[in-house]
């Protein structure tokens, strides 16, 4: 850490720094990549853990006009931040809540025939064509109209006349696997449905889908993870800017003087001469327990491996190879940063960068830098 810390940062066990200019730069890169298609921004799960309250205005200032969140409640929060934006709710229409979407001008993504029926009934009752997206499932078998529902809608598209159709969307299952044939199959299924449905805008690509080529861009792209610095092209280098840095504080340095073990489960043997730093981050902060004996942190250019189990509030790292006195109570260790991206931490933890970001702890002192003035 170079800049001086606030009292909250001095008290905190760890400091999370979020670079809003990097998020905005990532948006602009994706936006140029999909032009002339529009680039939306996916802000679900508190902007993948980075903080929707700060990230949404930064993306809006960078030119984003269309946003997606998962939950109705997330949409209500976002509407207060961005009065003019188009906001789609990916989890769809919660039964009995149509009036809430209308009140906050939120567009449900209609995921099944029952949701289309409920939304159009509400539109007729209000005597207004209210905005919605329609989700066509082309291979996820998760959300969206299945083949029989699509066929029924093609046979009788009249319900779509009762609502304001903002577009059709579909979602790719394997966009991040460069050799997978499924994205092409899904794109062809999507096209074939679009050809037979009333015309409207179309949206298929998530972050990785954007990098599969222009045939995946349609009218509107929906990146999430790439905005936040996750590599959308795992087969090659990461074109996105880093957006987060996590520095955690050393609480104690221990010089081992007799043979023993470290931590819960006594999983890691230690011998005299070992030096251990105990650091204030644990699984309750999103430092996943699967990083036990697998992760590492950095002091400047020097790596210190996690030894023993990750506990709720603490990790223990081996600093034997660092110069004596280099680390002391109060020293900050880089947990996420230039030496360890969220993707690298994820691979050590046996998961994906998305889970690392969306698990970022609530106990961190959060510092958002950059962004619109």
Ligand X SMILES: *Cc1c(COP(=O)(O)O)cnc(C)c1O
Least distance to ligand X, CB of residue 338, Å: 23
CB environment 181-219: b (16+ within 10 A), e (fewer): eebeebbebbbebbeebeeebbbbbbbbbbbbeeebbbe
Shortest Å, Cβ 44 to ligand X: 6
Residue length, the chain? 373
- The verdict on whether omega for the bond into residue 238 sits within 30 degrees of 0, i.e. cis, is no
How near is the Cβ of 30 to ligand X at its closest, in Å? 9
Q: Which residue, 90 or 194, is less far from ligand X as judged by CB?
A: 90
Q: Is the dihedral of CA 127, 74, 342, 348 positive or negative?
A: negative
Q: What gap in Å lies between CA 313 and CA 13, rounded to an integer?
A: 9
What is the nearest approach in angstroms of ligand X to the Cβ of residue 186? Answer: 12
Q: Three-state SS for 184?
A: helix
Question: What distance in Å separates the CA atoms of residue 287 and residue 232, rounded to the nearest whole number?
Answer: 22
For residue 195, the minimal CB distance to ligand X (Å) is: 22
The nearer residue to ligand X, 229 or 361, going by C-beta atoms, is 229
Q: What are phi and psi of 205, to 5 degrees?
A: -80, 130
- In the block, residue with structure tokens 């409207």: 200
Q: Which is nearer to ligand X, 111 or 316 (CB)?
A: 111
Q: What are the residue numbers of the active site? A: 44, 264
In the complex with ligand X, which residue's Cβ is closer, 233 or 296?
A: 233
Nearer to ligand X, 79 or 171 (CB): 171
Place of tokens 């969306």: 358
Residue whose CB is less far from ligand X, 172 or 333: 172
User: In angstroms, what is the minimal distance from the CB of 171 to ligand X?
Assistant: 4
DSSP 21-88: HHHHHHHHHHHHHHTTSEE-EE-HHHHHTT-HHHHHHHHHHTT--EEEESSHHHHHHHHHH-TTSEEE
Rounded CA separation 319/303 (Å): 8
Q: Smallest distance, Å, CB 267 to ligand X?
A: 34
CA distances from 351 to 63, 316, 348 (A): 32, 21, 8
> Measured between alpha carbons, how far is 65 from 46 in angstroms, rounded to an integer?
18
When CB distances to ligand X are compared, the closest residue is 224
Bridge partners, 317 (sequence order) = 277, 306
Give residues in contact with ligand X (CB under 6 A). Answer: 42, 44, 90, 171, 206-207, 222-226
Residue listed under structure tokens 């222009």: 214
Complex with ligand X: residue 184 or 305, whichever CB lies closer:
184
């Amino acid at each position: 850490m170079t800049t001086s810390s606030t009292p909250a940062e001095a008290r905190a066990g760890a400091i999370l720094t979020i670079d809003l200019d990097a998020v905005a730069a990532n948006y602009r890169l994706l936006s140029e990549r999909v032009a002339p298609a529009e680039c939306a921004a996916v802000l679900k799960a508190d902007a993948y853990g980075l903080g929707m309250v700060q990230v949404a205005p930064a993306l809006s200032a960078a030119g984003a006009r269309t946003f997606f969140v998962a939950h109705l409640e997330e949409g209500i929060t976002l509407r207060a931040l961005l009065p003019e934006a188009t906001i789609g709710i990916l989890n769809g229409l919660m039964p009995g809540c149509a009036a809430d979407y209308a009140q906050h001008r939120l567009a449900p993504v209609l995921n099944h025939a029952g949701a289309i029926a409920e939304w159009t009934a509400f539109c007729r009752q209000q005597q207004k064509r209210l905005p919605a997206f329609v989700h066509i499932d082309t291979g996820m078998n998760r959300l969206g109209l299945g083949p029989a529902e699509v066929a029924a809608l093609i046979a009788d598209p009249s319900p779509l006349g009762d609502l304001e159709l903002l577009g059709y969307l579909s979602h790719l299952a394997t966009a991040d696997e460069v050799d997978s044939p499924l994205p092409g199959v899904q794109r062809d299924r999507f096209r074939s449905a679009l050809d037979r449905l009333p015309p409207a805008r179309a949206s298929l690509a998530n972050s990785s889908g954007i990098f599969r080529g222009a045939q995946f861009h349609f009218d509107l792209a929906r990146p999430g993870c790439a905005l936040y610095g996750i590599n959308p092209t795992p087969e090659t280098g990461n074109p996105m800017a880093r957006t987060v840095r996590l520095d955690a504080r050393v609480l104690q340095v221990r010089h081992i003087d007799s043979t023993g073990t470290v931590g819960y489960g006594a999983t890691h043997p230690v011998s005299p001469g070992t030096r251990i730093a105990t650091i204030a981050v644990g699984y309750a902060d999103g430092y996943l327990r699967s990083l036990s004996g697998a992760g590492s942190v950095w002091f400047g250019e020097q790596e210190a491996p996690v030894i023993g189990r990750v506990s709720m509030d603490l990790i223990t790292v081996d600093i034997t190879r660092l110069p004596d006195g280099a680390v002391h109570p109060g020293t900050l260790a880089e947990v996420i940063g230039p030496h360890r991206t969220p993707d690298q931490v994820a691979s050590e933890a046996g998961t994906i960068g998305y889970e690392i970001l969306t698990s970022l702890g609530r106990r961190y002192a959060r510092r958002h830098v950059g962004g619109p003035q």
